[in-house]
Chain A
Amino acid sequence: SSELTQDPAVSVALGQTVRITCQGDSLRSYYASWYQQKPGQAPVLVIYGKNNRPSGIPDRFSGSSSGNTASLTITGAQAEDEADYYCNSRDSSGNLVVFGGGTKLTVL
């Protein structure tokens, strides 16, 4: 399969920890990347590779992977983390790219 599956919505209490998952066969071969998108803005890369954060991304964001599932964890969620989160990776052929359907994170 060349699809990536995400839960449509997740909520977390302010200051608590939340994990957002992404499942797909291609994740057995390739790492997922994670993007944060706020309304009206372009996506922003927050995690890539094994567990790497671009410059400027807070260290409360972390990534992990096991089998066909990649996870984005936010430890101590803040109000400003409320956003849509997307995973992507290469597809099983390695030539194309696939995105997950996105997860809407609500911080309560």
Chain B
Amino acid sequence: QVQLVQSGAEVKKPGASVKVSCKASGYTFTGYYMHWVRQAPGQGLEWMGWINPNSGGTNFAQKFQGRVTMTRDTSISTTYMELSSLRSDDTAVYYCARVGNWNDGADFDYWGQGTLVTVSS
């Protein structure tokens, strides 16, 4: 069965960087784009960007351009999301999510369990 397992919670100081991992299993890793979505406490879902695990190509929401990096290691079926210059309003749960259909929509059919990143001095 498809599983996305994320790394554990992180506490960071303002200005630092955080790197969250997402290990995929149960399907062909390079066959599906991986997206990252975050959710601040009590707020809605916010899309951050995607990575093509096959080519390593990426695309990001304008809001995160210059601050976010997404990479992958195909040997261990894992994608990474790194966010730099952290601020207190980056405190959120970060999710990885696989896109099942990209033809006529954006169906996130499997999600990781989420990683809480807390930014506090």
A residues neighboring B (CB under 8 Å): 30-33, 35, 37, 42-45, 48-49, 54, 84, 86, 88-90, 95-102
Contacts and interface: CB of A to CB of B under 8 A. Distances in A.
Interface string B45-86: 111001000000001010000000000000000000000000
Chain A CB within 10 Å — which of B101, B102, B107, B108 has the most?
B107
A90 B46 CA distance: 13
Interface string B86-121: 000000000101001110111111011110000000
Q: Is the interface of B mostly helix, strand, loop or mixed?
A: strand
Interface residues of B, number: 24
Interface of B: 35, 37, 44-47, 50, 59, 61, 95, 97, 100-102, 104-109, 111-114
21 contacts: A30-B104, A31-B104, A32-B105, A42-B95, A42-B111, A43-B97, A43-B108, A45-B100, A48-B107, A48-B109, A49-B101, A49-B104, A88-B45, A89-B106, A90-B102, A90-B106, A96-B61, A97-B35, A98-B47, A99-B45, A102-B45
